[in-house]
Amino acid sequence: MDRIRSIAVRVPPIARWGVFAIVAPVILSGCAQVAPHSNPTTVPTPTVASVAASVTPTPTPTPTPTATTLYQQLSAKAQKQFKGCLKVTVRPGSSGRCAELVVKKLKKYGFYPWSTSSYITTAGANAILNYQRSRGLDDTATTTEETWAALALNTPAVPKTLPKKCTSGKYKIIICVDQAQRKLFWIKKGKIVKKYPVRLGGWNSHAKTHEWRVFPTADGTWSVFDKQVSPASENYGSGAMPYSTMFHPDMYIHYSPGFHSVGYAQSSHGCVNIGQLSQAQWIFANTPIGTPVYIYSPKQPAATATPTPGPSATASASATPSSLPTS
């Protein structure tokens, strides 16, 4: 037994290599995922058609629209003209190239009838404000990006259509004041009887404190509560507001010698100024106490996207009544 054990333990080197040669294939074959078969079957080679059928195509992503800046929307000529100004705030008292550009555009659009200037005067400030109202913008007398955009893109004026409140015939007499058009409409039973140009509140200084700011004419529906030929005024003295038709404690419709002489170079402190004495007298004489006065500032109509009907929606689109009002 000892001899046999010795032989079993002491294997000659050559024999060791033989054992390894036998075992090695067994070890290497252990990496296979499938056990060998005595009669293996042939694995079919996939065709191009079968691969294409089994692969789900990747959808093409919808490109994200890139927002364009105001500058990019301009023509090459306009880009050269407005370069460096679109982010500049131009206010009363501003000067320089951008201030002059504002004045030139206001002059082109009919809001600045005076000589071109590179300085924003009182007339320039009121021209900015009146332009802003005509485009439905905030009337600040200051040019910021919103006003720059309107000037650069030549935004159209707001619609001139009178509100239904003025034309419905609900009121026997109503006075409507459109701040965008700077027009007063004297309306009887829904029909315009008189239409006058007016001057409204704007960039002005306080009579006592001399503080410069925008004095607005307040939007809303008011009512004539009094009429006086020459009312006394704590701030402006007697005779400053001839033929006043009073509809608000701080706002009257009255003749303005200043409006008659300098036009829109200045503004009121909130009153509705009439530039012709005869027109103020006519309103004074024909407007009863209690007459409603409607002052409004039109805005641009909201942009609405027109939907494109799908192939199956075309027929039903014409057959289904719209839920939106038509008026």
Residue 63: predicted pLDDT? 65
pLDDT band at 235 (very low <50, low <70, confident <90, very high): confident
Tokens of 157: 């004026």
* Tokens (6 digits) for 199: 């001057």
Among 251, 299, 17, residue whose Cα is nearest residue 135: 299
Residue 201 vs residues 141, 161, 213, 225, 240: alpha-carbon distances, Å: 11, 22, 10, 21, 16
Task: For the chain, give the percent of residues with pLDDT over 70.
Answer: 72
Torsion of CA 98, 99, 104, 107, to 10 degrees: 150
How many angstroms separate the Cα of 251 from the Cα of each of 22, 120, 280?
Answer: 114, 27, 14
pTM of the full predicted structure?
0.73
Q: Is 220 helix (H, G, I), strand (E, B) or coil?
A: strand
Q: What is the mean pLDDT of the chain?
A: 82
User: Domain 164-296: which CATH class?
Assistant: mainly beta
pLDDT in tens, 312-322: 333 333 333 33
Strand ranges, E, within the chain: 173-178, 183-188, 191-199, 203-205, 212-214, 220-223, 226-228, 244-248, 251-255, 272-274, 292-296
pLDDT of 258-273, one tens digit each? 999 999 999 999 999 9
Average pLDDT over residues 265-285: 98
pLDDT band at 68 (very low <50, low <70, confident <90, very high): confident
Where are the chain's structural domains?
Answer: 74-153, 164-296
Q: How far apart are CA 169 and CA 242, in angstroms?
A: 30
101-107, long-range: CB < 8 A, 24+ apart: 102/128, 102/143, 102/151, 103/127, 105/151, 106/131, 106/151
CA angle centred on 11, ends 8 and 12, rounded to 5°: 155
- Report the DSSP beta bridge partners of residue 196: 184
User: What is the second-level CATH architecture of the domain 74-153?
Assistant: Orthogonal Bundle (1.10)
Q: Between these two residues, 121 and 315, which has the higher pLDDT value?
A: 121
The closest of 98, 93, 100, 132 to 116, measured between CA atoms, is 100
Query: Across residues 206-230, what is the average pLDDT?
Result: 97
Neighbours of 283 (CB within 10 A): 24
Question: What does the buried/exposed string (b/e) look like for 205-217 if buried means 16 or more CB atoms within 10 Å of the residue's CB?
Answer: eeeeeeeeebbbb
Indicate the SS3 state at residue 71: helix
Q: Is the pLDDT of residue 12 over 60?
A: no
